[in-house]
Chain A
Amino acid sequence: MFTLSGKMRCSSIVGVKIGVLALQGDVSEHISAFSRALRATGREKGSEVIAVRKAAQLSHLDGLAIPGGESTTISRLIQKNGMHDPLISFGGGIFATCAGMVLMASCVDDPRIKPLALIDIDVKRNAFGRQRESFEADLEMADLAGPFHAIFIRAPVVTRAGPGVEVLARIDSGIVAVAQGRHMALSFHPELGDDLRMHQKFIQNLEK
């Protein structure tokens, strides 16, 4: 049994409902990755993965992905579409990659972005440089057996993680993966690869 929007539901009966914030960015890649992760763990029955463009759609969801894209653009569209406060009060878990991580932070190094402050972290954008400095690397991650092949594209890093934040991975001194409660934020893009262990971990956390 787990709690969602104040109601008790049984996970084995209702399945998992995951939304992908579809304002800008690699939305279809996230939808495909979550669909594959649900199938691979035998959870597809009663589960669904949908594109979310309106605040009203949030209330039906157990989890939400905030995709990669341009954080300035997504932040602006969140404000324009009246989704800032509904996202802050969203009761489920949030899976955020790259630009999504920037939006989850308490503090961002760019005043044009209004972050949601859902994870107690400070984030620096484009921390590794421009596109020519984008890279792939094998990361050691907390709780995962074996390395995770991570794809960093003009990626941000976490420069401060608060006491309630679990650090899942680092590159040198920079934190590139964190979790707090049911939320998870990653500098890289697991949705672009075939390794779905981070997605599966996120789904398992939703059921706790």
Chain B
Amino acid sequence: MKLEELRFGTELLKRGFASMQKGGVIMDVVNADQAVIAEESGAVAVMALERVPADIRKAGGVARMADPGIILDIIDAVSIPVMGKVRIGHLVEAQVLESLGVDMIDESEVLTPADEQFHIDKKQFTVPFVCGARDLGEALRRIHEGAAMVRTKGEAGTGNVVEAVRHMRNIMGEIRSLQGRNDQEIIDRSRDLEAPPDLLLETVRMGRLPVVNFSAGGIATPSDAALMMQLGADGVFVGSGIFLSAEPERMARAIVEAVNHFDEPSVIASVSKGLGEAMKGLDVHTLREDEVLQYRGR
């Protein structure tokens, strides 16, 4: 086997990596200790950050890629995949994370966008990307740019699941509504959705997005996580919900089990007992328009 016969960074390897995350919980962590707790609790991957989204909201100012030192500490501490966030359109932050050995890059609205017109051309990278979406058109535009995984945007750092639910229902409902339509009608609809027509045809044929679709942005309890799974998510990202809760380790384990047993209410009941307080949370309707993260990137 010669090294030059190996192929790296193909679409299949990128989407395949995302498939290995299915049925799992990806947890936001800000240091090596939290990463170890996440791994021991059964997380399939960790998202390495300088601050969790709720603290990014509080801190204000421009939110950027984390300090590479923090990311390297976390990479050294765990054997599960490590993901990192970059600003929308900030291709150099993405190049930096790739050079650090991050396994997947989240081009995320949680950070302050660096480009108001273009997302990163993700096909130029060896590592796979995940991107947020609020509806089917947005999801397919990101896949067209090379995203190997999609997540609902929800509204990060609120501990309020309502936006994640809205976005998952938007995506799944649109796919269901196009079942049984002919190609001409689907292509017509692709113009309204501003979606690449070929990708929309493929999605309708498969009855689901052609890449793994996780849920994110407001999941704070085991029941929230199971709700997103019942609505059709392939897995969940939990941001502030774990390490801002009263007992992070128990919350982490409980959410992992709730995702595993998402259709067994008695198991969800038993893991939810005595978890202490979940993160306080925010009513999305009290946010000023410039505080709403999901409007970033489209």
Where the two chains meet, the residues of A that have a C-beta atom closer than 8 Å to any C-beta of B are 22-29, 68-70, 72-73, 76-77, 80-81, 98-99, 110, 112, 125-126, 130-139, 151, 153-154, 171-172, 189, 192-193
Say yes or no: A132 contacts B22, CB within 8 Å. Answer: no
Distance (whole angstroms) from the CB of B5 to the closest CB of chain A: 6
Q: Which of A68, A130, A193 contacts B103 (CB 8 A)?
A: A130
Say whether B23 contacts A24, CB under 8 Å. yes
Inter-chain contacts of A22 with B (CB < 8 A): 23
In whole angstroms, what is the CA distance A72 to B25 when docked? 13
Give the residues in chain B near A125, CB-CB below 8 Å.
Answer: 79
Partner pick for B20 among A70, A135, A136, CB 8 A cutoff: A70
B197 within 8 A of A: no
Do B44 and A73 touch (CB < 8 A)?
yes
Q: Say if the beta carbon of B276 comes within 8 Å of chain A.
A: no
Interface residues of B (CB under 8 A from A): 1, 5-10, 12-13, 16-17, 19-24, 39-40, 42-45, 79-81, 98, 101, 103-104, 126-128, 256-257, 260
A129 to B5, CA, bound (A): 17
On whether the beta carbons of A126 and B256 are closer than 8 Å, the reply is no
A144 to B1 CA separation, bound complex (whole angstroms): 17
Are A99 and B20 touching (Cβ within 8 A)?
yes
Please tell me if the beta carbons of B1 and A172 are within 8 angstroms of each other in the complex.
Answer: yes
Best-surrounded residue of A77, A134, A153, A172 (most CB of chain B within 10 A): A134
Question: Smallest CB-CB separation from A70: which chain B residue?
Answer: B44
Question: Quick check: A134 and B24 within 8 Å, CB to CB?
Answer: no
On whether the beta carbons of B20 and A153 are closer than 8 Å, the reply is yes
Q: How far is the CB of A199 from chain B (nearest CB, A)?
A: 17
Can you give 21 contacting A-B residue pairs, CB < 8 Å?
A: A23-B23, A24-B23, A25-B22, A26-B19, A72-B39, A73-B24, A73-B80, A76-B42, A80-B257, A112-B39, A130-B101, A131-B81, A132-B126, A134-B8, A135-B8, A136-B12, A137-B1, A153-B16, A154-B20, A192-B12, A192-B16
Interface pair A137/B260, CB less than 8 Å apart: no
* Cβ-closest chain B residue relative to A81: B260
CB of A89 to closest CB in B, whole Å? 22
Interface centre among A70, A112, A125, A131 (most CB of B within 10 A): A131
Q: What residue in chain B is nearest A113 (Cβ atoms)?
A: B79
B81, chain A: closest CB distance, angstroms: 7
Given contacts A70-B44, A73-B24, A73-B43, contact A137 B7 (CB under 8 A): yes
* A69 contacts B24, C-beta separation under 8 Å: yes
- Give the shortest distance, in Å, between A20 (CB) and chain B (any CB): 12
B16: chain A residues within 8 A (beta carbon): 26, 134, 151, 153, 189, 192
- The answer to whether A154 touches B103, judged by C-beta atoms less than 8 angstroms apart, is yes
**Min C-beta distance of A204 to chain B, whole Å:** 26
Q: Is the CB of B19 within 8 A of A137?
A: no
Closest to B75 in A: A130
Is there an interface contact between A69 and B79, defined as CB atoms closer than 8 Å? Answer: no
A137 touches B20 (CB 8 A): no
Distance between B55 CB and nearest chain A CB, rounded to angstroms: 27
Contact B6 A136 (CB under 8 A): yes
**Are B40 and A112 in touch, CB under 8 angstroms?**
yes
Known: A151-B12, A154-B81. A69 touches B44 (CB 8 A): yes
Contact A72/B20 with A132-B98, A137-B5 known, Cβ cut-off 8 Å: no
User: In the complex where A70-B44, A73-B256, A76-B42 touch, is A136 in contact with B10 (Cβ < 8 A)?
Assistant: yes
